[in-house]
Structure 1
């Protein structure tokens, strides 16, 4: 193996602020690219002026979130396992991890495609689609199902590539898919008059192109990653290590899907306008959340490498510096969104009823914006020191055990006004609990 930056041990010796910047900035850009990517479908469908099509895309959002649940499990788990193996100079395990992530992502993607195509009707009924939105949602689901293997693998691959220190390449892969989606969205949605279905086609093609780029990277550029079938194994603790470490992130995403379904079912009782509005707000608020998530995810290889190399002092320096960055960018982004809340909603749609709901909902969702990054950093720290269970529990609480009952309780107490504050209340509880749990783990370490 030729000398690489990893062999020069820059992860263990570079000044913390520079190392964090080197890893986090491309990760943040990739996260923001993901936000733009997710916003694109809603934005261009919104330009049709049809609130029902916007509502249909919102109703199918849990499908994409479920894709990301598995992509994050394989990607985050694979990234953590690969970075620790690199810190231990175990190249064989790095090859096995990267091969597992690839083949597991493709297998799960094919299973998702089959399930969605065979059970489209019952699934959309469960999601809250009615007679007005069903056909739009059905066409979107069919096309996005075809792209499931590429959507899952391209997202997972970006994490694994970053574990090798190739944050720039991970960013490029994400940008390829996003730019393709943004270019193709207006062509299929408006140019070919396909509406919501056109958005799904653009999404599938964009992820196919991103997958092609990562395929090229693995085969031609990577020094240690592998796609060879002979390196694909579930033994030697590979599958357990990847899935258990990535499980908190996966459960976080999966329960987000469930809570989104529950939220949509509650909102449908108030009409399709609130459903369309929450879809726009969910995408817009991703900017604040993913900005901080990008920071937290970007430093994961640094945390895993430091832990694998036995350098807990450096581990804690990276943690503290990243948390400061998260709070600063969280406050700045939240203030910006509060000042521009109505123009942000109108950017997606001009329907006055949807805008009215959207402005109120966006303010409610922004309340936890300044500090949500602390939760993500704490969870990544837990996963990086092989304490996945507490992070899993926090994920379960934030998006399921606590949020879902709280949504019903708040609706009973305050109706729609109460429901929209459920996520922010849950976020603050999760942030406080994560701080308490992580401080106890640190003392033991």
Structure 2
């Protein structure tokens, strides 16, 4: 099928399905990938190692902040360029994403190695968890360039209409990680450090696949040095468009650090539990995020081509899909909430806290996809500022004060409801903002 037909004229439901299903699969693969480390470390039945992996979660979230900024921004710029028939600009965007990802990854690696001790102390590591957290951080640091580009590349490949290839790249990294986790964690007795090594190797393999795709298969995109370009609005276009997604992840990292600092006062069991809940709840969130991200090239292409009617049709159909899968996934998780926590570790204290936390985090599950679609619509139409504001509110300006307030008022039982409360505020605001903006676009 020609890209022009897929993006511009194929029936909306079929076009959304063709673009979104591979993206959803990729997102679920990412969920499995993120769960793998915690799951296999949990099989050691050592709560301290599980807590250590939870404490280092902000590092991975920061990696994803830049991966999402480059990936979402590059995808938006490339898809709009292709809609406008500017093929050279699309190549410039994809090449910029590749080299910017590796540069930022190298900076991250150096920073983690140089400032590991104060960073882990800031994250909430104590005398019991520090050694495990250090081992994980040491081995994840040199994987930073590969982790960032493999995630960013999957977004850019979807802009080429190649959702299946983006899915395959994600699956390569995930399958490798799942296979290698038990080898390094239990087989070699490396524990949390082994999980980091498996993660790094998996991402290197995914990068090799994407390298092959760009060099041998793609006709519209490039990673050739000659196509790398910062000027002509490439750097600003990619970074500004992707900034809302990046700030979302950065603030998620900050709020996770603060949440861990609050929880560690109640012991390492709540810290370990929240790490498991983060990973488990990702299934509900990433189902809808995959739908929203999958249709982003459709939104960008039709906006660039001036096809407003099709843009709105894609927007509305995707939201209906998000609502349906959100309700079904949340109901499923509620029924099996205790079983889900037990899959990770068989520790009575962690199961107790984990079940309570999972229920609290699931409250916004049915509707969170509306926020993701609205943010992608805003980004695809060049309205990066309101999308950024929504991200800042959800993960920073609103969530962080709410966490401190709920902790002061209701202690641990209050803290765990902070995310759901801010999610609902962000969803409502996104509906109001997009309903006003879409009539102007």
TM-score, length of structure 2 as denominator length: 1.00
- The one-character-per-residue Cα deviations of 1:8-39 (angstroms, maximum 9, x if unpaired) are 43210000000000000000000000000000
Q: Which residue is equivalent to 2:209?
A: 213
1:138 is the counterpart of 2:134: yes
1:181 is the counterpart of 2:177: yes
Q: Which residue is equivalent to 1:316?
A: 312
> 1:239, 1:55 → 2: CA distance?
38
1:398 is the counterpart of 2:394: yes
Pick aligned residue for 1:169 from 156, 159, 165: 165
1:334 is the counterpart of 2:330: yes
Q: Which residue is equivalent to 2:298?
A: 302
User: Is there any run of 5+ residues in structure 1 with no aligned partner, and where?
Assistant: none
Q: Which residue is equivalent to 2:285?
A: 289
1:383 is the counterpart of 2:382: no
Structure 1: which 4+ aligned runs deviate by more than 6 Å? none
1:83 is the counterpart of 2:68: no
1:5 is the counterpart of 2:8: no
**SS of corresponding position for 1:223:** coil
Q: Which residue is equivalent to 1:225?
A: 221
- The one-character-per-residue Cα deviations of 1:113-144 (angstroms, maximum 9, x if unpaired) are 00000110000000000000000000100000
**SS of corresponding position for 2:426:** helix
> 2:182, 2:370 → 1: CA distance?
37
Q: Which residue is equivalent to 2:231?
A: 235
> 1:300, 1:103 → 2: CA distance?
23
Q: Which residue is equivalent to 1:21?
A: 17
Shift of 1:227: 1.3
Shift of 1:443: 2.0
Shift of 1:359: 0.2
> 1:164, 1:443 → 2: CA distance?
28
> 2:179, 2:356 → 1: CA distance?
31
Q: Which residue is equivalent to 2:250?
A: 254
Q: Which residue is equivalent to 1:344?
A: 340
- The one-character-per-residue Cα deviations of 1:351-375 (angstroms, maximum 9, x if unpaired) are 0000000000000000000000000
- The one-character-per-residue Cα deviations of 1:369-400 (angstroms, maximum 9, x if unpaired) are 00000000000000000000000000000000
> 2:439, 2:411 → 1: CA distance?
43
Q: Which deviates more, 227-236 or 38-47?
A: 227-236
**SS of corresponding position for 1:14:** coil
TM-score, length of structure 1 as denominator length: 0.99
Shift of 1:225: 1.1
Pick aligned residue for 2:260 from 256, 259, 264: 264
**SS of corresponding position for 2:439:** helix
The alignment's C-alpha RMSD in Å is 0.6
Shift of 1:158: 0.3
> 2:273, 2:123 → 1: CA distance?
16
Q: How does 1:62-101 map to 2 (within 5 A)?
A: 62-101=58-97
Pick aligned residue for 2:41 from 17, 41, 45: 45
Q: How many matched pairs? A: 441
> 2:353, 2:339 → 1: CA distance?
13
**SS of corresponding position for 1:80:** helix
**SS of corresponding position for 1:130:** coil
> 1:73, 1:109 → 2: CA distance?
13
> 1:75, 1:207 → 2: CA distance?
15
